[in-house]
Amino acid sequence: MSRKLKALVLPPAARLDMVCSTACRRLLEQECDPVWNETGADYTPEQLSPLLSDAELILTSWGSPLLTEELLREAPRLRYIAHAAGTLKRRVPDNVLESGRVRLFSAAPRIARSVGEYCLAALLHLLWRFPQMDAQVRSGLWKNGALGRELRDQTVGIVSASSTARAFIDLLQPFGVHIRVYDPFLSPAAAEQLGVVIVSLEDVMQCPIISVHAPSLPETKGLLTAELLRLIPDGAIFINSSRGAVLDEAALTAELATGRFVAALDVLQQEPPQPDHPLFGLDHVLLTPHIAGMTVEGCLSLMEEVLLDVLRAERGETTRYEIKAQAWAVMA
């Protein structure tokens, strides 16, 4: 491969610093012919339009302009769109894969790994309650009976066997937990391979530990109804790292207000939330600002991961981050 791939890098410097490591910049200079965004901001469609004629690869991330059919018509040589972020849905035309001209790459599987670590960290946070212990020690109380709880041998209920769920399940392996999954698309064979048991959504909601991984789709909007949320057992741990839209937030807040179980919520229905959100008054709820998939290391590796995969594609090798047509159709 002597000819270098003409790469249009859409993120401006400030965003690039988050998703593109020094190694990735070097790789782009060595293996591609990159055009950097020096404007200091995300391109407007008007700024982007005249840059498209030569582009063979477009690298995008959060904040990049949507690649409409109109814009893509101005990129006749385009063969790859690689997104250094999560979902590409609604960022490219829904029929983009139909012509077979352009191949799509998304760093979503890399992001899922971060979410897996978030879920285990949030779960252990709620089991151990370190901030309370730490405050007690500093206030002069040493042993006062507050003990951590163990994860080993517990039962964990998972809503949807998505890629983030699988990353979480991976990290749970050495704990010897019993995993129950609700997922209408999970086959018995796939469940066996994952080491999980397929159950109903009602059964998942009755587990002592529940983690929600449902993709945000029209079909999953409000999936966890007030009725289902009422099933959460006393003393349970409830974690949502997927999307606020998949549950009835008012009903969850009402259940949490009783204090009968604890929760970690990385996502809310409205982000950022109103400053007087009723969850803000509940100390037994861990609130994080939709960062489960955005770790320091994870973010910095996003562009390199998809770029390396494009280079694999260019060499005719098997890809890891490519979105194939049949997956695209059912994607969130």
Q: Which residues are catalytic?
A: 243, 271, 290
Q: Of 5, 59, 299, 308, which lies in the binding site for a second copy, with binding defined by CB under 8 A?
A: 299
Report DSSP letters for 121-181, one per residue.
HHHHHHHH-HHHHHHHHHTT----S------TT-EEEEE---HHHHHHHHHHGGGT-EEEE
Measured from the CB of residue 135, what is the shortest distance to a second copy in angstroms? 9
Stretch that binds a second copy, among 167-175, 245-253, 309-317, 323-331 (CB under 8 A): 167-175
For residue 142, state whether it binds a second copy (rule: CB under 8 A). Answer: yes
CA dist 257 → 187, 261, 275 (Å):
37, 9, 18
Q: How far apart are CA 48 and CA 67, in angstroms?
A: 10
Q: Of 216, 269, 295, 319, which lies in the binding site for a second copy, with binding defined by CB under 8 A?
A: 295
- Could you say which residues in the range 170-199 bind a second copy, by CB under 8 A? 170-171, 173-175
Q: Of 4, 79, 166, 290, which lies in the binding site for a second copy, with binding defined by CB under 8 A?
A: 290
For residue 235, state whether it binds a second copy (rule: CB under 8 A). Answer: no
For residue 49, state whether it binds a second copy (rule: CB under 8 A). Answer: no
Q: Cβ closer to a second copy: 114 or 253?
A: 114
Q: Cβ closer to a second copy: 295 or 319?
A: 295
Nearby residues of 7 by Cβ (< 8 Å), 6 or more positions away: 28, 32, 33, 34, 35, 55, 56, 57, 58, 59
Q: How far apart are CA 195 and CA 152, in angstroms?
A: 16
Site string for a second copy, 102-121 (x = CB under 8 A): -----------xx--xx-xx
For residue 14, state whether it binds a second copy (rule: CB under 8 A). Answer: no
Q: Cβ closer to a second copy: 18 or 217?
A: 18
For residue 271, state whether it binds a second copy (rule: CB under 8 A). Answer: yes
For residue 144, state whether it binds a second copy (rule: CB under 8 A). Answer: yes
Torsion sign across C-alpha atoms 301, 2, 92, 106:
negative
Nearby residues of 296 by Cβ (< 8 Å), 6 or more positions away: none
Q: Of 186, 197, 254, 286, which lies in the binding site for a second copy, with binding defined by CB under 8 A?
A: 286
Q: Strand ranges (DSSP E) for 54-177?
A: 57-60, 80-83, 103-106, 155-159
For residue 23, state whether it binds a second copy (rule: CB under 8 A). Answer: no
Q: Are 331 and 89 in contact (CB under 8 A)?
A: yes
Q: Of 136, 206, 216, 269, which lies in the binding site for a second copy, with binding defined by CB under 8 A?
A: 136
For residue 22, state whether it binds a second copy (rule: CB under 8 A). Answer: no
Q: How far apart are the first and last CA of the chain?
A: 35
Q: Strand ranges (DSSP E) for 161-230?
A: 178-182, 197-198, 209-212
Q: Are 323 and 88 in contact (CB under 8 A)?
A: yes
Hey, is 9 helix, strand or coil? strand
Measured from the CB of residue 308, what is the shortest distance to a second copy in angstroms? 15
Q: Cβ closer to a second copy: 190 or 291?
A: 291
65: tokens are 């302009």
Measured from the CB of residue 296, what is the shortest distance to a second copy in angstroms? 5
User: Which residues here bind a second copy, judged by CB under 8 A?
Assistant: 113-114, 117-118, 120-122, 124-125, 127-128, 130-131, 133-134, 136-138, 140-144, 146-153, 170-171, 173-175, 271-273, 275, 280, 286-291, 294-299
